Structure 1
Amino acid sequence: MMIKLHEEKMATKRAIWVVFSRSKILVREQDKTVPIGLISDFPFLAAYSDSIHQLPPLNETAHKEMPVFVVDLGSQRFDEPGWERASLRQLLYSEPGAAFSIFGRAWQYVHFIRTHQFCGQCGAKTELVSWEMAVHCHQCQHRSYPRVSPCIIVSIHNRKQILLARGVRHKEANMYSTLAGFVESGEDLEQAVHREVFEEVGVKVKNLQYFGSQPWPFPHSLMIGFIAEYDSGDIKCQENEIDDAQWFDAECLPNIPPRLSIAGKLIEKTLSLIADK
């Protein structure tokens, strides 16, 4: 659910304001921070009062924290002095862990509303449901909810080294990471791990262990993490997907993702397992 607010309620609530302009978030030009305050502190938001929603807290503890308001400026050009646009990925990596959850959820809600303005069943205009995060078609009664795409991510080791790959999209950044891929229809998570690993680097794995999960808002994935042990096969990179893949010693790691991401956490955990062998 994303709560629609009346103006009098917004006027009295000091809040975090996550304002989207196209696919980026507005931040203060001087310190690159997301605005915090009353709506009256940000006059440029007055024209968007009908498009402001409150991001619901995920748990009981969050109810006591500062509310989060989400505003979507759409594709309109924004040139307000003192403000600039920052990419979602940039903010996710630079802000603390709590901000990761806030920005990620806010973007997934905005992306959902943008892409579900019309019914996927009959094509009629949809309306946002006020009591839950959904859109409803009053013509055919079809209701749509935010899409969540399950995606496995797996760290592989051979008891001495860790297998890391550089994707084609990360070639310029020269970043190596764990393997990942979307779960296909009719496939369980373990099957997806075995298939993706073999497709991307040509090896087989065994002894899968569940590690944890993390929402990943690019644009609506849920990353489900595993640690696996190498079984057999030689590395053979999948064309058009993997630029390079190698076994690395813990002391000679390439450029890897930050620990804030589940990939970074998986790598850190795998390295600790190798050290204990």
Structure 2
Amino acid sequence: MGFVASIRPAGRVKGPSWCFAFSGQKIVVEKRNERISLPLSHDPHSFGLDSPPIYLGALNGVDCLAGEITEGRELPETMTLVGLRQLFLSVEEDLYLVAGRAFQLVEFERNHRFCGKCGAPNQDKPNERAKICPNCGIAVFPRMSPAIIVAIRNKGRILLARAPRFPEGMYSVIAGFVEPGESLEQCVQREVREEVGIEVTGIRYFGSQSWPFPNSLMVAFTAEYAEGEIRVDQEEIEDAGWFTPETLPRIPDRISISRKLIDAFLKEVSSKQ
């Protein structure tokens, strides 16, 4: 069944719901025997939500609710706060992706309480995930920043790069935000040229993933090396190189689309052997 998004439940919310409660940048989780999990609760207000919960939809028939609690509020003894990146190492992928959606919508509610043009209090837009100003009519929608991510292949090798912000020893594929006025394919070519100095061809769509770091829609591609020598920009990228399946460095966790691109490369190379 998976996740079915909705701005309101089909009927009265019954039974326990998945509760995605945030305090600042962290999410409330249950902690038992050093393991963490997301809470199922009949009463999301038991966490001390500051406002009515946001209805997200249903995951495998279980309603999902989100909200915000005041930073510093005392939690029940079995609860604690963790960052989203820590969470994705501890829960199933579909649940984590809903948590990412919840985080972005809670942030949207927090940052768009008032109209950015006239300052009047915003209202929820009926039948849509948006806010509208009753005074001047300006509508705003949750922020979404499109970004490309691309696996570049070259004769059984894949180009991986290291950004200064990565964990020690980790490399990944090239990624970057789309600029106004450019297509996704143009963004692939520009980001690759800017970050590692080479040209690519044969750009093909691979898939997409919502990624809340921050508010991103990652649109994934594969591409083939065309020409040029690797020259890293020393700003966003500090090292890059071609890797075979046997020489791969540390790579991202399986939940990310960057890892899915790398795994697809490994599968393709293995199938040709």
TM-score exceeds 0.5? yes
* Among 106, 110, 132, the residue aligned to 2:106: 110
* Among 132, 148, 151, the residue aligned to 1:152: 148
Q: Deviations over 1:77-111 (max 9, x none)?
A: 33432211011112123321211221111111111
Farther off after superposition, 69-78 or 176-185: 69-78
Indicate the residue corresponding to 1:91 in structure 2: 87
Indicate the residue corresponding to 1:44 in structure 2: 46
- Report % sequence identity: 39
Gap change, CA 1:96 and 1:4, over 3 Å in 2: closer
Gap change, CA 1:237 and 1:206, over 3 Å in 2: same
Q: Deviations over 1:17-68 (max 9, x none)?
A: 11111111111121311111311xx7733x53742122124xxxx5x61111
Indicate the residue corresponding to 2:254 in structure 1: 259
Given that residues 159 and 274 in structure 1 are in contact (C-alpha distance below 8 angstroms), is that contact kept between their aligned partners in structure 2? no
**Distance across 2 between alignment mates of 1:209 and 1:249:** 21
Given that residues 201 and 226 in structure 2 are in contact (C-alpha distance below 8 angstroms), is that contact kept between their aligned partners in structure 1? yes
Counterpart AA for 2:201? K
* Among 36, 39, 46, the residue aligned to 1:35: 39
Given that residues 121 and 133 in structure 2 are in contact (C-alpha distance below 8 angstroms), is that contact kept between their aligned partners in structure 1? yes
Structure 1 segments (4+ residues) deviating >4 Å: none
**Distance across 2 between alignment mates of 1:230 and 1:138:** 52
Indicate the residue corresponding to 2:24 in structure 1: 22
Q: Higher helix proportion, which one?
A: 1
Q: CA RMSD in A?
A: 2.2
Indicate the residue corresponding to 2:194 in structure 1: 199
Gap change, CA 1:73 and 1:44, over 3 Å in 2: same
| Secondary structure of 2:37 counterpart | coil
Structure 2: 5+ residue runs without aligned partners?
1-5
Indicate the residue corresponding to 2:264 in structure 1: 269
Deviation of 1:5 (Å): 11
| Secondary structure of 1:173 counterpart | coil
| Secondary structure of 1:32 counterpart | strand
Structure 1: 5+ residue runs without aligned partners?
none
Given that residues 21 and 78 in structure 1 are in contact (C-alpha distance below 8 angstroms), is that contact kept between their aligned partners in structure 2? no
Given that residues 3 and 130 in structure 1 are in contact (C-alpha distance below 8 angstroms), is that contact kept between their aligned partners in structure 2? no
Indicate the residue corresponding to 2:3 in structure 1: none
Given that residues 22 and 76 in structure 1 are in contact (C-alpha distance below 8 angstroms), is that contact kept between their aligned partners in structure 2? no
Counterparts of residues 130-145 of structure 1 (less than 5 Å): 131-145=127-141
Gap change, CA 1:141 and 1:234, over 3 Å in 2: same
| Secondary structure of 2:107 counterpart | helix
Gap change, CA 1:202 and 1:49, over 3 Å in 2: closer
**Distance across 2 between alignment mates of 1:35 and 1:130:** 29
Deviation of 1:158 (Å): 0.6
| Secondary structure of 2:49 counterpart | helix
Gap change, CA 1:74 and 1:184, over 3 Å in 2: farther
| Secondary structure of 2:245 counterpart | coil
Deviation of 1:129 (Å): 3.2
Counterpart AA for 2:8? I
Deviation of 1:203 (Å): 0.7
| Secondary structure of 2:95 counterpart | helix
| Secondary structure of 1:48 counterpart | coil
